[in-house]
Amino acid sequence: MSFKNSTAERTTITRDVVDIEEKTGNVYESIAMLGKRANQINVELKEELTRKLQEFASSTDNLEEIFENREQIEISRFYEKLPKPVAMAIQELLEDKIYQRKLEE
């Protein structure tokens, strides 16, 4: 999934609980679903960042040989500026991009 094109807010905003509750009919189910989706997004972002930063990893762990790499700094800054996983999950929920599957009781 491409998180680079996310339209989620990058700052904290106030949300209407009714909008979140409408998606599942229960505010607690909606929040639980958002938490699970935010965890999924966080894992995906972390794996992607780790893969990109592995290119810059050195095989020796000598402190004298550590130097700053401009590309590595830019990659890190880009990921820091992305919206938080919770904001992305809320945006996906409000845009009906995620759904909840219930097991038959």
Residue 99 forms part of a structural domain: no
Residue 78 forms part of a structural domain: yes
Which region holds residue 87: left if phi is over 0, alpha if psi is between -120 and 50, else beta?
A: alpha
Per DSSP, 84 falls in state: P
Residue 90 forms part of a structural domain: yes
Domain that holds residue 35: 17-94
pLDDT at site 1: 55
Residue 3 forms part of a structural domain: no
- Structural domain tally of the chain? 1
pLDDT tens, position by position, for the chain (105 residues)? 566 777 788 888 888 999 999 988 999 999 999 999 999 999 999 999 999 888 877 666 555 545 667 888 888 899 999 999 999 999 999 999 987 887 775
